[in-house]
Amino acid sequence: MKPRNETERLSNPYNDDKVMAACSIFGMMDISGKAVPGGDVIRAIANMHDRSNGLGGGFAVYGIYPEYADCYAFHVMYPNNETRSDVERYLIKSFAIVHSEEIPTQPAPHIQDPPLVWRYFLLVDSDQRGEQSEEEYVFDRVMTLNTSFPGALVFSSGRNMGVFKGVGYPEEIAHFFHLEDYKGYLWTAHGRFPTNTRGWWGGAHPFSILDWSVVHNGEISSYGTNRRYLEMFAYQCTMQTDTEVVAYAVDLLVRRHGLPIELAAKVFAPPLWKQIDYASQDERTLLTMLRQTYSSLLLNGPFSVIIARQGEMIGLTDRVRLRPLTAATKGDLLFLSSEESAIRLVCPDVETAWTPMGGEPIIGRLRESLPLPKENLEVAVA
Q: What is the pLDDT of residue 377?
A: 33
User: Does the pLDDT of residue 2 top 80, yes or no?
Assistant: no
Residue 378's Cβ-count burial label (10 Å; 0-12, 13-18, 19+) is: middle
Q: What is the pLDDT of residue 354?
A: 96
Report the b/e string of 205-219 with b at 16+ CB within 10 A: bbbbbbbbbbbbbbb
**What does the longest C-alpha to C-alpha distance in the chain come to?**
64
- Digit-coded pLDDT (tens) for 94-105: 999 999 999 999
Q: What is the mean pLDDT of residues 191-216?
A: 89
Which architecture characterizes domain 4-381 according to CATH? 4-Layer Sandwich (3.60)
Does residue 163 contact residue 170 with C-beta atoms inside 8 Å? no
Cα separation, 32 vs 279, in Å, equals 36
User: Does the pLDDT of residue 14 top 90, yes or no?
Assistant: no
User: Does the pLDDT of residue 373 top 90, yes or no?
Assistant: no
Percentage above 70 pLDDT, the chain: 90
- List the chain domain ranges: 4-381
Q: What is the mean pLDDT of residues 260-280?
A: 94
**3-class DSSP assignment, residue 186:** strand
- Digit-coded pLDDT (tens) for 118-172: 999 999 998 888 899 999 999 999 999 999 999 999 999 999 999 999 999 999 9
Q: What is the mean pLDDT of residues 214-224?
A: 93
Q: Given pLDDT bands bounded at 50, 70 and 90, which one contains residue 291?
A: very high
Q: What is the pLDDT of residue 193?
A: 82
Q: What is the mean pLDDT of residues 12-25?
A: 61
User: Does the pLDDT of residue 195 top 80, yes or no?
Assistant: no
For residue 71, indicate whether it is catalytic.
no
- Any idea which of 20-29, 162-171, 240-249 has the lowest mean pLDDT? 20-29
Task: For residue 125, give the amino acid letter.
Answer: D
Q: What is the pLDDT of residue 21?
A: 56
Cα separation, 28 vs 23, in Å, equals 17
Mean confidence (pLDDT) of the chain: 90
User: Does the pLDDT of residue 238 top 60, yes or no?
Assistant: yes
Adjacency order of strands within the sheet including 212-218: 207-209, 212-218, 303-309, 312-317, 362-365, 379-381
Q: What is the pTM of this model?
A: 0.90
Q: What is the pLDDT of residue 374?
A: 31
Does residue 298 contact residue 271 with C-beta atoms inside 8 Å? no
Report the b/e string of 91-124 with b at 16+ CB within 10 A: beebbeeeeeeebebeebeebeebbbbbbbbbeb
- Digit-coded pLDDT (tens) for 129-142: 889 999 999 999 99
Q: What is the pLDDT of residue 1?
A: 41
